[in-house]
Amino acid sequence: MSATTEQGPVPRERDRAPKQDRSRATRQRLLEAAVACLAEHGWAGSTVAVVAERAGVSRGAAQHHFPTREDLFTAAVEYVAEERSTALRALFPGGPAERRAVVAALVDLYTGPLFRAALHLWVAASNEDQLRTRVTELEARVGRETHRIAVDLLGADESRPGVRETVQGFLDMARGLGLANLLTDDTARRDRVVTQWAALLEDALG
Amino acid sequence: MSATTEQGPVPRERDRAPKQDRSRATRQRLLEAAVACLAEHGWAGSTVAVVAERAGVSRGAAQHHFPTREDLFTAAVEYVAEERSTALRALFPGGPAERRAVVAALVDLYTGPLFRAALHLWVAASNEDQLRTRVTELEARVGRETHRIAVDLLGADESRPGVRETVQGFLDMARGLGLANLLTDDTARRDRVVTQWAALLEDALG
């Protein structure tokens, strides 16, 4: 086969980058569609075919990127969690910031579509062994990263006894607030809890 | 029809109580089986027929007690939540008690099969409108009762500013700890968080 066809020259080195960009863009569309789909329809209603259609991608292309349903949805939750972590750090470019603002921003991680999607995945994983191992690993990675961000932005000194557990308990509280927001809009109550616990954390973290 | 048949006298006043007892026992067996079933198999795997079989009750009898699937499962979560509330109060018959013990007992509400069952119901309700209304009402009732018990046993004075939100945030933390225990045994980490947060509550509540 010659380097030239009727459609023009065969792609060479300089054309590879755009092709990689397109592939990456397709992958991102699939990941974002997967999280939106999980949040709206739950695990039972979320198949690779439904996500591919939502993303405007062929089913074959979706399966090229993600061979199994488990691959697609765990990658999707991890990708969106990383995006949110990056956005959260970008909110406080100077590092440690005013505690009320940091507490509110951390709690916000658990009130959107990402948390709903992750919750559907966790609950499905609790009854499906194959999914369970994958989601447990994912949850550990995302949990460690969120803890690291919380420690940094709260300016918490983990060498002091009890500080690590204080931050952990606060992140458990944030997750619980996310759960309380699942069926109803809990914003007003949540704001009061955030204000009070930001003050308590101020005392506890010094 | 005479008051006497070949099988003996037709039941009269004095026989009604045992019959009511049997009916109540059947109802309880169904409710307990429904919670166990939800916790183990999730909403999709929990039908009235599956629960009736598990409880050793005919499907007709189950439908006599609970005309719809929603009736059965919301009643089940409410019944078991009431049982657990009663058991919790019975642990501290003198009312307010040592804070570490009360905090641990309240957190325990969220780590067993009841929480797993309730979580499956919440998550299913977030995607099913009919179930959503029922579960939202149930969740509000159970939440109010748990808050009342927490205030009593912690000896919290809600007339003081911030105390109500302190207790609420603590119960959100307990719920978050329940979520963290869904896929792995989180007991060791949870114990350390409980110890630290009991100390923070001690300072905050005075």
Cβ-Cβ contacts under 8 Å, B198 against chain A: none
Cβ-Cβ contacts under 8 Å, B162 against chain A: 196, 199
Q: Judge: A193–B169 Cβ closer than 8 Å, yes or no.
A: yes
Cα separation of the two ends of chain B: 72
Average pLDDT on B89-112 reads: 95
From the CA of B186, how many Å to the nearest CA of chain A?
Answer: 12
Residue A198 CA: distances (Å) to CA of A126, A150, A202, B162, B195: 32, 13, 6, 11, 19
Q: What is the pLDDT of residue A69?
A: 95
Burial of B92 (0-12, 13-18, 19+ CB in 10 A): middle
How far apart CA A35 and CA A139 sit, in angstroms, is 15
Mean pLDDT of chain B: 91
Q: What is the pLDDT of residue B2?
A: 43
Q: pLDDT tens digits for B143-184? A: 999 999 999 999 999 999 999 999 999 999 999 999 999 999
Structure tokens at A63: 């399966």
Residue A30 CA: distances (Å) to CA of A37, B38, B203: 10, 32, 49
Residue B122 CA: distances (Å) to CA of A116, B97, B125: 11, 32, 5
Q: pLDDT tens digits for B75-87? A: 999 999 999 999 9
Q: Judge: A172–B177 Cβ closer than 8 Å, yes or no.
A: yes
How far apart CA A92 and CA A88 sit, in angstroms, is 7
Q: What is the ipTM of this complex?
A: 0.89
Per-residue pLDDT of chain A (206 residues; tens, 9 = 90+): 444 444 555 555 556 678 888 899 999 999 999 999 999 999 989 999 999 999 999 999 999 999 999 999 999 999 999 999 999 999 999 999 999 999 999 999 999 899 999 999 999 999 888 899 999 999 999 999 999 999 999 999 999 999 999 999 999 999 999 999 999 999 999 999 999 999 999 999 98
Nearest to A41 among B45, B127, B173 (CB): B127
Q: Judge: B124–A42 Cβ closer than 8 Å, yes or no.
A: yes
Q: Judge: A183–B132 Cβ closer than 8 Å, yes or no.
A: yes
| Crossing angle of helices A69-91 and A113-125, rounded to 10° | 140
How far apart CA B142 and CA A20 sit, in angstroms, is 53
Residue boundaries of the structural domains of chain B: 69-205
Q: Judge: B139–A203 Cβ closer than 8 Å, yes or no.
A: no
Mutation to test the A interface, candidates B137, B179, B186, most A Cβ within 10 Å: B179
Average pLDDT on B117-139 reads: 93
Q: pLDDT tens digits for B14-65? A: 566 788 888 999 999 999 999 999 999 999 899 999 999 999 999 999 999 9
From the CA of B138, how many Å to the nearest CA of chain A?
Answer: 11
How far apart CA A46 and CA A157 sit, in angstroms, is 42
* Number of A–B residue contacts, CB under 8 Å: 125
Q: What is the pLDDT of residue B4?
A: 45
For residue B1, what pLDDT band results from cuts at 50, 70 and 90?
very low
Cβ-Cβ contacts under 8 Å, A126 against chain B: 42, 116, 182-183
Cβ-Cβ contacts under 8 Å, B173 against chain A: 169-170, 172-173, 176
Where are the alpha helices (H) located in A7-161, listed in sequence order?
Answer: 13-41, 48-55, 59-65, 69-91, 99-108, 113-125, 129-154
Burial of A144 (0-12, 13-18, 19+ CB in 10 A): exposed
Structure tokens at A69: 């349903």
Average pLDDT on B124-129 reads: 90
From the CA of A15, how many Å to the nearest CA of chain B?
Answer: 45
Considering the domain B69-205, what is its CATH architecture? Orthogonal Bundle (1.10)
Q: Is A92 helix (H, G, I), strand (E, B) or coil?
A: coil
Structure tokens at A10: 């065969």
CA angle B112, B113, B116 (to 5 degrees): 100
Nearest to B189 among A168, A177, A179 (CB): A168
